[in-house]
Structure formats: structure tokens, C-alpha cells
């Protein structure tokens, strides 16, 4: 299903500013063709659990307070994370 969705994204019927960001852990269920067709980026996490969590919470969109306030239920939504 995911493979068909990605195959249907064509330059002629897609906004030029459209970008698709996907993340995946190694999984036999993730289509190899999507991995092969995409641009790969790696980001080495800081050493240690505490440093890694701090970095994760500082990144967008989680690091932006407006991210939580624009949700229809900001308090319960924010509580899911913190």
C-alpha cells in the first residue's frame, strides 16, 4: 500500500514545494524500493540517553510551543509527550 502511494506521486501532478519525509527503523515490512529511490540522510545521535532525549525535544516540531497550541486539545496532546 505504501509503495503504491509513493509511486503515485508524480512531478506533473504534485506541487513543486511538496516534500515527503519518512523515517524507518530496519524492518522487513518496509518496501525496499522506497528506500532505494529516496535520498538518505543520517544523523548521529548524541552519546547517552539524556543527551539524546534533550536533542529530540529541542527539534522541530516538538521544540516549538506553537506546535502544541494549534492542536484542538493542546493540554492532552502535550501530555502525550511530556
pLDDT of residue 23: 74
Burial of 31 (0-12, 13-18, 19+ CB in 10 A): middle
Question: What are the tens digits of pLDDT across the range 12-46?
Answer: 888 888 887 777 677 788 888 887 877 777 777 77
d(CA 44, CA 42): 6
Q: Please give the residue that has the higher pLDDT: either 81 or 72.
A: 72
pLDDT reading at 82 higher than 70 = no
Question: What are the tens digits of pLDDT across the range 55-73?
Answer: 877 777 777 777 777 778 8
pLDDT of residue 59: 76
Amino acid at each position: 500500500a505504501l509503495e503504491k502511494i509513493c509511486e503515485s506521486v508524480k512531478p506533473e501532478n504534485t506541487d513543486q514545494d511538496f516534500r515527503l519525509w519518512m523515517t524507518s527503523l530496519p524492518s522487513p515490512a518496509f518496501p525496499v524500493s522506497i528506500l532505494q529511490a529516496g535520498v538518505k540522510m543520517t544523523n548521529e545521535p548524541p552519546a547517552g540517553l539524556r543527551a539524546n532525549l534533550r536533542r529530540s525535544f529541542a527539534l522541530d516540531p516538538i521544540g516549538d510551543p506553537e506546535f502544541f497550541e494549534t492542536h484542538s486539545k493542546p493540554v492532552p496532546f502535550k501530555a502525550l509527550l511530556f
